[in-house]
Structure 1
Amino acid sequence: MKAARFEQYGGPEVLEIVDLPDPHPGPGQVRIAVRAVGVSASDPKLRAGTLNFGAPLPSTTGAEVAGVVDELGEGVTDVAVGDRLFGISDDHAGAAEYALITYRAPIPRALGFVDAAGLPVALETATRVLDQLKVGDGTTVLLSGASGGIGSVAVQLANARGARVIGTASAANQHYLRLLGAEPVVYGDGLVERVRAVSPDGADVAVDIAGSGVLPELIELTGAADRVLTVADMEGATTHGVHFSNGFADGNAFHAMSTIGELIEAGRFWLPVERTFPLAAIADAHRWSETGRVRGRLVLVV
């Protein structure tokens, strides 16, 4: 099969399309013929070597996939060959013609492969942090970096729980945040004052999604470090006593993939795909991701 791989850490140019053996599912796994692959914010960091979970080189890439089941592993009875599924590539090898997945769910009827491929990581992360902060009816939650993939999802999920959402983003993305249901605030110097202008009491809880060094401000606005989570600033979390949330240590929330269809069908959730790229142009997708200006998601089409 054709698959994206890199043999050394570096810029997008280290990515190449190579021929690899077709994978076959083990117990509990299914194999899908991949139709689309989400490009998450962590993919370029893994490729560059700045976020390294110990994967040996050469390394494949791509965690979020959507496609059609074409082979079942031992013991799999919940899906059938031909089903449309989205989920997480077990080997972080989804940027390929075939992928093995364990965490999976049927693609909601209203979604195509491209839209579904942009969902898994953002949906899991947003659900996990909102659960950890016990965001519910009447909660005021501040999301720092609310216009990207995770932020776009978190705004809408928090709204669905009855929370008030204040979101930070660039000046260009203020209207976009309003469309999602957040009260927008421009990030940067003076953030505390701008948030207090719309919410004099600050926020009950806050999530740092962008990792832009705002943890002290979020602590000031919520009143305590234990009311703040970050998914992007591990060093800052240690410095300021804030919890760094990740699905490895905290347990994942991939169960959200099975229930998001209800919000989609009700017209209460959408995650825009800003651009698509063919698999062969994966380097261009990584370059675009690294600009830091992505609204919603980037997706590879296989």
Structure 2
Amino acid sequence: MRAVVYDQFGGPEVLHLGQVPEPEAGPGRIRVRVEAVGLNAFDGKVRSGAMESVFRTRLPGSPGLEVAGVVDQVGADVVGVAPGDRVTGWTSRGAADFATLRRWAPVPDGLAPTQAAALPVVGEAARRALRLLGPQPGETLLVHGASGGIGGLVTQLAVAAGVRVVGTASPANQERVAAYGATPTAYGDGLVDRVRSLVPAVDAVLDTTGAGVLPDSIELRGGTDRVLTLADDAAHDLGVEFSEEASPSAADLAELLGLVARGEVVVPVAHVLPLAEAARGQAMVDGGHSGGKVVLVS
């Protein structure tokens, strides 16, 4: 089958189309004919070799942590799903014609595969962040990177729950943050004063950017309690909680898919590209300025 592969570690340019054996749906797994695959920053970190000190990557490698597609094989001990069903979920090498999934959720009628494939990774991270921080109705949550995939979803879910959100974003993306129901503000020098001019206090802080915002976040919060980052290694030296261990939940994904299908939350898909343009798509993601999810289609 076709797959996006890399034979050596390096920049996005090492990605290319190749031929690899088709995976099989083993026990507890399903196989899908891939219609769409979401690209993520983690894919770039693994491909670059930056994660080799944490775990070894078997070459040739392939990106793609989240896919949407049509079930064509069902492994032993799997119930509640059948060939022909549309699903989305988590995989390890999804940028290919076929992929196997251990956790998945049904795609609601009317939801495009490009939208469905954009949700598993950011949805899991957003739910995890909200559970760890526990913002309550009437509290104020500061979200760094509120126009991004994770930050944007956190912002929408928090606002819907009655939380006041102040979200940092570039000038070009502040209109999007405001549309989510949050109060936008610029990042960079003077952040502490800008936030204090908007709200009397900050009850919790989420950093999705890894852009060196933790010292300002601690100052605004008045300590390290309820300050969480998903992206900044400096957390360990500053005494801030760093969450990077994903806990995929099919139930959470199904709930979020329903919200997206009903138009209650939005996960912007900025670029839809064919598998052959994976290098271009991953370069957008690695640069951090894609403007939304980048999705490949078969």
For this structure pair, what is the TM-score category when the shorter chain's length is used for normalisation? over 0.9
Is the 1:66–1:117 contact (alpha carbons within 8 Å) kept by the matching residues of 2?
yes
Give the CA deviation at 1:68.
0.3
Structure 2 CA distance for aligned equivalents of residues 289 and 105 of structure 1: 25
CA distances 1:105-156 after superposition (whole Å, capped 9, x unpaired): 0112241100111110000000001001112322211111111111111111
Give the match for residue 113 of structure 2.
113
What is the root-mean-square deviation in Å for CA atoms of aligned residues? 1.4
Secondary structure at the counterpart of residue 60 of structure 1: coil
Q: For the Cα contact (< 8 Å) 1:42–1:51, is it kept in 2?
A: no
| 1:269 and 2:265 correspond | yes
Distance 1:266 1:277, change over 3 A: closer
2:183 equivalent in structure 1: 183
CA contact (8 A) 2:27 2:77 kept: yes
Q: Which residue of 1 aligns with 2:252?
A: 256
Deviation at 1:8, TM superposition (A): 1.1
Report the AA paired with residue 244 of structure 2: N
| Larger mean Cα displacement after TM superposition, 134-143 or 34-43 | 134-143
TM-score normalised over the length of structure 1 = 0.94
Partner of 1:60: 62
CA shift, 1:261, in A, is 3.5
Q: Which amino acid aligns with 1:11?
A: G
Q: Does 1:301 align with 2:263?
A: no
Q: Alpha carbons of 1:301 and 1:291: their partners in 2 closer, same or farther (altered >3 Å)?
A: same
Letter in 1 for 2:285: S
Q: Cα distance 1:196–1:110, how it changes in 2: closer, same or farther (>3 A)? A: farther
What pairs with 1:1-302 in structure 2 (closer than 5 Å)? 1-52=1-52, 53-89=55-91, 92-201=92-201, 203-234=202-233, 236-248=234-246, 251-302=247-298
Offset, 1:243: 1.0
- What stretches of structure 2 of length at least 5 have no aligned partner? none
Length, aligned pairs only: 296
Mind listing any 5+ residue stretches in structure 1 that lack a counterpart? Answer: none
Aligned-partner residue type, residue 291 of structure 1: G
Conserved? CA contact 2:103–2:248, under 8 Å: no
* Mapped partners of 1:103, 1:85: distance in 2: 10
2:271/2:292 contact within 8 Å kept? no
Residue 293 of structure 1 deviates from its aligned partner by 1.3
Tell me, yes or no, if the aligned pair for 2:39 and 2:63 is still in contact at 8 Å: no
SS in 2 for 1:59: coil
* Contact 1:30 1:69 (8 Å CA) reproduced: yes
TM-score by length of 2: 0.95
Matched residue type, 1:243: E
Structure 1 Cα separation of the partners of residues 3 and 221 of structure 2:
45
CA shift digits 1:59-117 (9 cap, x unpaired) = 1211010000000000111111111000001xx10000000001100112241100111
Partners of 1:39 and 1:210 lie apart in 2 by: 17
Partners of 2:140 and 2:56 in 1: CA distance: 38
Calculate percent identity across the aligned residue pairs.
Answer: 45
Instruction: Indicate how the Cα distance of structure 1 residues 59 and 262 shifts in structure 2: closer, same or farther if over 3 A, else same.
Output: closer
